[in-house]
Structure 1
Amino acid sequence: MFLIHQVPAKPDYLRVKVRRRLAQLGAVALKNSVYVLPASPEGRSRLGELAREILRLGGEALVCQAELLEGLADGSLEDLLRRASDAEYTAITAEAKRLASTLRRVRASDEAGRRRFGQAVERLRTRFDQAVARDAFEARGRDEAAGHISLAAGHISLAEDLAQGVEENDKRRPQPAASPSGATWVTRKGVMVDRIASAWLIRRFIDSLADFKFVTGRGYRPKNGEIRFDMAEAEYTHHNGHCTFEVLIERFKLRDSALRPIAEIVHDLDLEDSRYGREETAGVGRMIVGLAIASTGDEERIAQGGPVFDSLYQSFRRRA
């Protein structure tokens, strides 16, 4: 569908208002005064409303549904709309990364700061939902944006846990058995890279009979035989600038050299501080985000993440 319109030159705010409304609809400029939108009953209704508003403002407008015969194919229009959606998803992804990075500098005791960032993530999620509603052709950047919003939300959850007293204070953590077997390992719901990797490490190198339990994290009190990781007051969690995966390797004295590069990848993905800058990191991150979006729950995320880390482990073993 096309909106062909002309807005009076004055006052200037009229043009800005119309442009903003077109952007909210997800319409893309084909020419200066010609905008295109995927054909749908809702789109027709909303373009019609905008056309009537332009007429009320003293401008000219018409809405039409047309088949392009020469000069530009329908497929090219679809690509144009996809690129517009991808540009929005790229901006959302960048903002989610910025929020996650900034949140790490907020003190655990700063409740107002955590609340402010939580509200910012919710606004970003709303913006993402609106972008999805406009994205008729499923642009490629959608999944990555969704994954980074989930990561940002996960950082807020961890920050809330830290506020309850887990702030890198090993002395207050109960000490588990040196060699657990068949234990229930408890962590926060919504597992992402550090918890997925840690679950793989636990089952592969620490406790092959491990069961996993997923809880909200806040105020959870473990039952007999339960070991917590990557959550408030956990036996194993972030410590001295290390992610949980690194802490597990250190505390269980795992000396397998193939685990070190995996730890570096997990560290950079989880803490986003680019400390190690391994070339595999971006690809692993995309795989984890993809499987997290496609999965139906935490058990499935862990099950699907295992082969990713198995493959990495075998690759690094061959290089050793």
Structure 2
Amino acid sequence: MVNNRDTHTWLILIHQIPPKPDYFRVKIWRRLQKIGAVAVKQSVYVLPDTVQSFEDLHWIVKEIEGGGGTASLSRSVFLEGLSNDHIEALFTDARNEDYRIISQEGQGVLDRVSRLQSQQSLPLPTKLRKESLRLQRRFDEIVAIDFFQAPGRKSAAKVVLECKKLLVHNDTAVTSCRTLKNVKGKVWVTRQGLFIDRIGCIWLIRQFIDSSAQFKYIPEETYAPLKNEIRFDMFAAEFTHQGDKCSFEVLVEAFSLDAGSLAVLAQIVHDIDLKDDKFSRPETAGIRAVFSGITRKTDDDQIRLLRGLAIFDELYISLNESAQD
């Protein structure tokens, strides 16, 4: 929280951006929104006078100048006209609107979760999980720029917490009822259009769960399994995303494989699949580029799988060797 009643100073950015290209003006506007700046006049933005705000605005000035515009950054005190109370109200109104959107979207997630649970549909769809995680991340971002503790934060925090509780409750129920099943000799079913999470799951199943496992690839998002089938990384699957875990992580945890090089592999797959850079391992960027290249090169799942499995084999060996050094 910022207390400008004590400092009475603000950072003020005044800019002039060329009318073309349009995307550059929009880019700068979005950057200013992201750091929490509010406009007091056209092309005049204000932030509380903090070290972080100064650094953020400094880099935006450089970006504007690099794009052919002009920008000035100053530290100022408002003596007449605009008052501190008025400026603080601008920040509070902006954050309350952000919190209102979070609360509205979060309630939508809760309503959909409630309907699915009433239908005994477990686990929750991947898209719904990702939406809940996105709301949690967005809430954290808003809190970081809520300089004057807007009153809307309390209700938004409550909704976000309820979303998190429901997902955790659902995940616990799914894991406890499914990880004890005998999976040997089963047919594993997943969606077509293989990418790193599904390819990784297939590699993991063959290497550590059932070397003789058979696999079936379907075009549909939803699928009712036959008696001898197990679904993974798809809607309502026995093994799929849970909370902020990708399907590879869920399998590793469900079969108690979370150790050594597999734990590292799980972190890499997580960051590439969920795109959240949670673990930020140095190997991730290169592996992401390789798998993106494979999928751009071919739509044939068998070719994708063949190449992807080879990468997992080599990466696993490399990680083991590094651990022994």
Q: What's the TM-score, normalizing by structure 1?
A: 0.49
Under a length normalisation based on structure 2, what TM-score does the superposition of the two structures give?
0.48
